[in-house]
Chain A
């Protein structure tokens, strides 16, 4: 049988050898341990003895050739088994073999999900994550591992606990004291305490991420709320008028959502502090207007993002919204779809809600809900008339904006929606 003879691994720090003189020629009979070939390494010049006895068939490496250890150098015919080294030899890997030994410059790397960007879309983009502190709230209360564990075990919302630690931090003692004074809360949220009156559902990873994100927002952002009422009778008429032709022309269903997004995007451009986030010792204004839209997907809440929403027309917004909500429901969103949101819009009206107090999508500055459009009896010029009315509910980070800015923003959205009427071009 023919076997391949390899350049053996020899020497404490040697990875390659140069073939010197072949001491046997093809056709020669070789005894086991007979010197076969001379090999020159950095450290020694040596004669490599044959690992088997037989006949040299072929020389695979020529004199003067430099090879990595483990490389084939000859073929021999033998009746003996070629004893296996243990572990079996692997050719040493030598980069840019025979050329310069320069290290390759960049080999690229995988940016992992370093922050929970998933369902709520509010995570900072990867570039920002690599430079810590850029958007991390400084001095804000942080939860220690022990506190987080206790909250988790007992299902307690930290916003209900007053921190007594440094800078208002919630300490482990604070949680324990809270549990003592609220015995109901003290029952562990999971595990053995389940009795017959309860059923304990295990948390899905998405549920847990949503929970963590909500806790983070609720505990770190001081929320304030404001609601205005808008008369959208014109919008209702406009949609009724153009719906059929729009859908025929664009191939997309015409809902109210693209109008809402457009109004919000325009109002954000006029009110940059609503398109911002808290930077500890500064306020970070976002130059892009990327609007997240909350979607109830089967696995839970997700917030895909329409990037540069202010640059899109109503038909484009309609298409983008349909595409994102469709893919959200099929669980086909990409990482990009849920990243870098700067403001969130939740069309709670689709669920029939008429008023909400939403939790801000951390670390954004505000979140707006568009509530159900209802015909209501309202007074216009001292007469009671029936108009299509809706509520716009805003939650905003009170560190960044006061009621005045928030109110001005809401009025802007309201004005843009009320300005719509049949005949207005859809762009």
Chain B
């Protein structure tokens, strides 16, 4: 298991090889998988930055950036995709997850601009909120914590049906304070549900630092109180996130819930409407950015001969081109027809 795992690790029966400085690839993946991840990560970063720019141009009303969370989201997603029997409940900062599962850049841009072609809600909701059932993702709202009990119910249904599905519920450190986080974990523990709780802890609930949110260092410690294992993972390290999620999925399917706490960094303000300079020391952010998961992954791939600088440059150029095209396509896309405002308040 990851080197930073918490005390509750003692409850875990198995210990795994740690991906260390000398690259031993975890079970089930190849270097090609990692190059794919890198390509995705660069595309997602390009989209993320473009959305921010479009907001500053008045074309995107609101956005929450995932910059700094990419390794956690894509690492865990790699395990999900290798498993093929998972269902995801995401939260609002999971841009990398939502794109990683297969959303196209045009769909992303349409969603952010509130245009037809948004697959999540057809431009009824905030960007990428609603559901993408093609890719087995649900996120009904951005009332944090509300998705956790829903994910628990989903896992309960999967268990009733015996279909082998493992549900992953992603949430931030802020959600961890919600009463429903407790209710969800408590029930999941009682019923040994096939459920992985993934806390992407960036240490800030908008402006409130972790020290004002909880009296403990690790959210993962709470798992012990619910009778299942909890682990701390370096969320800036894609391989660790993959490996921890892979093991958690297996554990959840056979034995019950797992809580993974992925320690990540938030590179950007909470949303486009926030100014983190008011509450976050510049040095802290500078320090965090030195651990940019894209830089880390690129270095790892270059070190091991899986990527050349030129290939890296090509990937960046291609990403920019894709994002330019997607932006233009979304700007040209239609708004929903006003006559449809009453549609689908009720299911047929």
* B122 interfacial by beta-carbon distance below 8 Å: no
Give the interface size bracket for A toward B. Answer: 10 to 19
Q: Cα distance A3–B274 when bound, in Å?
A: 30
Q: In the complex, which residues 254-312 of chain B have their Cβ closer than 8 Å to any Cβ of chain A?
A: 269, 272-275, 277
- Provide the bound-state CA to CA distance between A83 and B330, in Å: 11
CB distance from A56 to the nearest CB of B (A): 16
Asked if A11 CB lies within 8 Å of chain B CBs, one says: yes
Residue contact A33 to B273, C-beta cutoff 8 Å? no
Interface Cβ pair total, 8 Å cutoff: 41
Cβ–Cβ < 8 Å partners of B50 in chain A: 33
Indicate which residue in A8, A9, A45 contacts B277 across the interface (CB closer than 8 Å).
A45
B273 touches A48 (CB 8 A): no
**B61: Cβ under 8 A from any A Cβ:** yes
A132, chain B: closest CB distance, angstroms: 38
Residue of A nearest to B115 (CB): A86
A257 to chain B, nearest CB (A): 61
Q: Does A197 contact B (CB under 8 A)?
A: no
With A33-B50, A43-B274, A43-B275 known to touch, is A9 a contact of B331 (CB < 8 Å)? no
**Of B56, B269, B273, B335, which contacts A8 at CB under 8 A?**
B56
For B277, list chain A residues within 8 Å (CB): 45
A46 at the interface (CB under 8 A from B): yes
CB-CB under 8 A from B57, the residues of chain A are 8, 48-49, 51
A12 vs B62: C-alpha distance in the bound complex, in angstroms?
7
A47 and B273 form a contact (CB under 8 A): no
Q: Are A44 and B58 in contact (CB under 8 A)?
A: no
In this assembly, does B16 line the interface, its C-beta being within 8 Å of a C-beta of chain A?
Answer: no
| Residues of B in contact, count (CB < 8 Å) | 17
Q: Are the C-beta atoms of B331 and A89 separated by less than 8 Å?
A: no
Q: In the assembled complex, which residues on chain B have CB atoms less than 8 Å from the CB atom of A11?
A: 272-273
Which B residues are CB-close (under 8 A) to A43? 273-275
If A12-B61, A83-B331, A86-B335 touch, does A47 touch B275 (CB 8 Å cutoff)?
no
Majority secondary structure, B binding face: loop
Q: Would you call A44 and B61 a contact (CB within 8 A)?
A: no
Instruction: State A218–B272 Cα separation when bound (angstroms).
Output: 70
> Do B58 and A49 have beta carbons less than 8 Å apart?
no
B59 near A: Cβ within 8 Å?
A: yes
Closest to A37 in B: B56
Q: Of B53, B59, B272, B331, which contacts A44 at CB under 8 A? A: B272
Within 8 A of B (CB), among A39-63: 43-49, 51
For residue A160, give the distance in angstroms from its CB to the closest CB of chain B: 49
The answer on a CB contact under 8 Å between B273 and A44 is yes
CB < 8 Å: which of A10, A12, A44, A47 contacts B269?
A44
B125 within 8 A of A: no
A49 B331 Cβ-Cβ under 8 A: no
Q: In the complex the two chains form, is A89's CB within 8 Å of B58's CB?
A: yes
B55 within 8 A of A: yes
Question: Contact between B273 and A49 (Cβ–Cβ < 8 Å)?
Answer: no
Query: Quick one: CB contact mask for B48-83 with A, threshold 8 Å, 1 for yes?
Result: 001001011111011000000000000000000000
CA distance A415 to B53 in the complex (A): 93
Q: Are A12's CB and B59's CB within 8 A?
A: no
Interface: A302 (CB within 8 A): no
Residues of A within 8 A of B61 (CB): 12
Known A-B contacts A11-B273, A12-B273, A33-B50; A69 and B335 likewise in contact (beta carbons under 8 Å) = no
Q: Which residues of A contact B53 (CB under 8 A)?
A: 33, 49
- Taking a contact as CB atoms under 8 Å apart, the answer to whether A45 and B275 are in contact is yes
Q: How far is the CA of A10 from the CA of B50 in the complex (A)?
A: 15
Map CB proximity to B onto A50-83 as digits: 1 under 8 Å, 0 otherwise: 0100000000000000000100000000000001
Q: Is A102 an interface residue (CB 8 A)?
A: no
- A85, B59: Cβ atoms closer than 8 Å: yes
CA A85 – CA B54 in complex, angstroms?
11
Task: Return chain A residues, CB-CB under 8 Å to B275.
Answer: 43-45
Query: Hey, which chain A residues are within 8 Å of B272, CB to CB?
Result: 10-11, 44
In the assembled complex, the Cα of A51 lies from the Cα of B277 at a distance in Å of 26
Tell me, in angstroms, the Cα distance from A46 to B55 when the chains sit together: 10
Q: Which 10 A-B pairs have the closest CB atoms?
A: A8-B58, A49-B53, A44-B275, A9-B58, A48-B56, A8-B57, A33-B53, A51-B57, A83-B331, A46-B56
Please, could you name 13 A-B residue pairs with CB atoms under 8 Å apart, sorted by A? Answer: A9-B58, A10-B55, A10-B56, A12-B61, A33-B50, A43-B273, A43-B274, A44-B269, A44-B272, A44-B275, A49-B56, A69-B58, A83-B59
New contact pairs (19) apart from A10-B58, A11-B272, A43-B274, CB-CB < 8 Å: A9-B58, A12-B61, A33-B50, A43-B275, A44-B269, A44-B272, A45-B275, A45-B277, A46-B56, A47-B56, A48-B56, A48-B57, A49-B56, A49-B57, A51-B57, A83-B59, A85-B58, A86-B335, A89-B58
